[in-house]
A and B are shown apart, each in its own frame.
Chain A
């Protein structure tokens, strides 16, 4: 059990900077997920923590000790790989105990640790099988078991679920969460799947182009994204971004979307955006669930407009509708009974209480 901290960590490959100065503090017992598109440096960061890549600049410490120069085996970490990396010639038990055997643990202790981990992961009756005889989910459990028996300071997961099918992924996600609740080991988890990040993490670290975009709890990131990247990356279907401008009309601050559509901002928002320049090109950021069919009663901050639907996607409990606003494709989520049909108009409502305003040039949320 230990905290992990990264100080201005940089990774350079020849002239390419894969990781460009990362500062991150992970508390003891914490479950932190690094998320971002491929090539954002999240895996490289994890591998630097593991010691599989050397650090070009900066410091990484585990449990208070700088480990820059400590080989992986002495860092007291365990790692679960994307393709499981089970030793194909060893049985499940041998796979799980390999690290302990190399460290010459007493046989009895190895046996009891393996048995305990196997019980925890529900693989006790597979213990004498070879990896080839296991299903994807079972292999995943063995890979986790291999990490657990070591009882390390830190668990590192490198996209562990991306080789599983969608259904199994959900199941294993819950499994990982359960295991963490039991063993409470500090965990760093890398994924490109924002759903995994949201569901698993105590805190999510969103990375992009070798830098950290934002760190926060899943709800913080969802409701208060700091940048356009985070706003667009977290949430599915993704947040809509529509070019807009602020203008003054009737003594109130309005947001103009098109020539014909301009909405007065709710008082709280208006106060917040008062100082924004009126000529600045802006983006309205609004999640699909805040663009819905109209409600029977007018509510403050909810503005209605007419939309010409291009495509509708019935999902069962809701229907996704796609239309254009200011030449920008926009997605909304409506009640399946709202009468949304391909190519027909629908009166829509936009909840401006949950809107975000972004500076188009800097990509920062205002």
Chain B
């Protein structure tokens, strides 16, 4: 009995201490295994995304044969070339106008789909998303064929209206238009889908309340729909801005930058200079010019995504 009493009072002390440290050990083990589970991800990002990103900066400071450090030499060279400024201008025109039209068309189409009876929506949504599903390299080939200088099916059709023949990819202005058109064709469905999801998440009661308050159709869009979708519009637009700005496939296949570099954008020109022209440092320098605008867009996206996280 005495032993038992002593056991009861004195033994639990050290046991408790051991328990506490055991628990801490268990927690540590848990966080170690969590770390191990994320290790492949960390390695992938570190080695194949972050390292090359910084390596790109290093490359940009070398000369063409990559044996000599030239500092800002490549950038100075670029600033003196008219083609570079052409590419800057074209990239901005391309990205901004394409995103603008994608957003507008996506918004309008989403509204039309949302308007029709629910049971038919799936079918329409399914058809309208097809451009996004086809690999852009493949669909751009179809556009290239539709734009063919001699056999263009568009020009064939337009000729009945007395228009054309239009040099879709031959003339600088038309080539820019075509590139933007194909990008809008490819990207608008993405906006449509995002907007449609957002439209569906606006509770009907809000529209009913607005209708009772006497809001007309236009006021309902302006005061109910747009504010409710503000965040998703912002995220989608910024995201699309990044993708469009960095686009390669469409321009590469449709015009390869021509005629006379009049449709080159950063990605295609970097490819032309860096890979085809074998001037890797110069190519790296060109693509680095995408970083500022991408970074700004990314920061805004992150802010909005976090905001959404906090709201929910």
Contact = CB atoms under 8 A, between A and B. Distances in A.
A113 B22 CA distance: 35
Contacts of B15: 66
Summarize B's interface: helix, strand, loop or mixed: helix
A66 B11 CA distance: 11
Interface in A68-93: 68-69, 71
B12 A66 contact: yes
Interface residues of B, number: 10
A363 B155 CA distance: 91
Interface string B8-31: 000010011011101100110000
Contacts of B26: 71
A69 B22 contact: yes
B115 to A, nearest CB: 31
Contacts of A351: none
A66 B13 CA distance: 12
Interface in B119-157: none
A59 B20 CA distance: 11
Nearest to B15: A66
Contacts of B12: 59, 66
A54 interface: yes
A12 to B, nearest CB: 12
B158 to A, nearest CB: 55
Most B C-beta atoms less than 10 A away, residue of A66, A69, A71: A69
Contacts of A68: 16, 19-20, 23
B21 to A, nearest CB: 9
A332 B292 CA distance: 73
B12 to A, nearest CB: 6
B5 to A, nearest CB: 15
Contacts of B18: 69
A64 to B, nearest CB: 11
Interface string A34-68: 00000000000000000000100001000000101
18 contacts: A54-B23, A54-B27, A59-B12, A59-B16, A66-B12, A66-B15, A66-B16, A66-B19, A68-B16, A68-B19, A68-B20, A68-B23, A69-B18, A69-B19, A69-B20, A69-B22, A69-B23, A71-B26
Interface of A: 54, 59, 66, 68-69, 71
Given A68-B19, A69-B18, A69-B23, 8 more contacts: A54-B23, A54-B27, A59-B12, A68-B16, A69-B19, A69-B20, A69-B22, A71-B26
